[in-house]
Structure 1
Amino acid sequence: MSKATNHAILLLVFANLLASFSDVSLKVLNGEVPTFQYVFIRQLLSVLLLLPFWLKLPRETQMQGGCRINFLRAQFILVGSGCAMIAITHLTLATANAMFYVGPILMLPLSVILLKERPNKGKIIATLIGFLGVLIVLRPEHFHWAAIAGLGSALAMGVGNILIKRLSDDQHIISTLFWTSIMTLPLALAFALPQWAEIEWRHVGWIMAINLFVLGYHALVVIAYKKAPASQIALAEYSGLVFVTLFGVMWFDEIPDVLTLIGIALIVVPMMPIQWKKWLRLQRSEASHKQAL
């Protein structure tokens, strides 16, 4: 595996750590802010945070993110964010994220259809194992209507990530994030107005925290998916499932049962089999060298 691919995988792992902190913050909100009001406020805060950095860019660079592909991607992000809030509010963090991680599974066939990529047999097998793990986590007795929202979020985010590949390689990350945030506002406001409610400043504080984590996530995702083919690195997205499971145990007493842990293991274990094989070969080589001495 190339250095660029390894670097992209590390970026995705860190991105998913930030996304996990975002999920924890969203869980603390506990649905106290209407779904699309939350999305609108979060995206508006994103625009305000990014505006000073965007204004410092050259005029030509500023306009790079205002393209049709980025507009389409923004709408998928909007829908995905609303669905994610519903899922996290009503499901445990581990179960909700098991639904979100159908996204990387969907990205493999999507990368084949939309980007004409050709994943190898190992990636296909690992993806199928991951899908089996999701089915084990979401068994009939754990099914909740909010799981449908989780699946909707997974599909929306998966397509949004695939569309990154259609963006220009030299498009500035600040311009991309700024225009993505701007383009979500009209539809988010239209959905938010019918259920607009009074909120407290602590809600705004949590939304700001979520916003910072999400901005960091999207920035790292854009960089990662431009460094390597989607089919080679999408499995690294599963790392977030480990993070949210641990955080659920630590902060919300959401202790997963044995079958859930088995399902999570099936999702995570196949993530980087090539690196594990290399590590095992290295360990054997070092052990043989020591015996020879």
Structure 2
Amino acid sequence: MATDPTTTAPATTAEPATASAGPTATTPAASAPTKPSRKKGQSRWLTWGPPLGIAALIIAAAYIANAALGDRSFLLPAPHAVLAKLWDPTTAPDMWTAAWRTTVVSLTGLAIAIAIGVTWAIIMNQTKWMERALFPYAVMLQAIPILAITPLIGFWFGYDFTARVVVCVIIALFPMVSNTLFGLQSVERGMRELFQLQGASRGTVLRKLELPAALPAIFAGMRISAGLSVVGAIVGEFFFQRGTPGLGSLINKYSARLLSEELFASVLVASLLGVAIFLFFGWLGKRAVGKWYDFG
């Protein structure tokens, strides 16, 4: 029996349609616009431009205020006179040596505060009753006026390195406790339930789930405590005058002698020290968790 030619027509015409469908399907992917890459110079300007602009405004305001004070210009010396004291051979050696001693005290106190704060938070994270029992004392420690207990610290620990470190720890401890506890408790509920379904022990949950999830909060607490540790070191040196002098001792001496240029220079060094330690822990946080968390 002869084949009807009309029955084979759709089969022959469908083949070109199928062949033409391939290029059509891939056309959107090939023509998809790519995101414009930000230029490297523009990125650097966005990073350093705003703070440098604010610094220029502050310096200009300082010059204007210095000129407006007239005979009382010693109350706010010119910025170039303050910066000159950082390289003056009569003051710079004592200032930079004191800065190094303050750095040692602040880093020692910060390390102790980190160890105590993380341990304290882990203990409170175990059960709710531990958190209710211990967290109020962390708040009380933060609320204690450090100037009121400074004489007691001197009686108990002497008036040298140990007493300064104790003051530094007291001031820098609370951010580590609160941030670490927040990070440990911010784990998603679904992840906790998954570990429970697998029968994971409390130690396994802590090591493999809670601590890794809490790392961004821990490093944020380190950055806050870093600045406070410098403040604590300077406060301790300001009140404990015995032993090797630090920046706090120099600030006390310069203020007593009304040496305004040296006083502003020592305060500037203390501020730069705090910024340097803050930036170091920011860099450390990016190295540790920057691959999977936007650590600013």
Shared fold by TM > 0.5? no
Rg comparison, structure with higher value: 2
Higher relative contact order (CA 8 A, sep 6+): 1
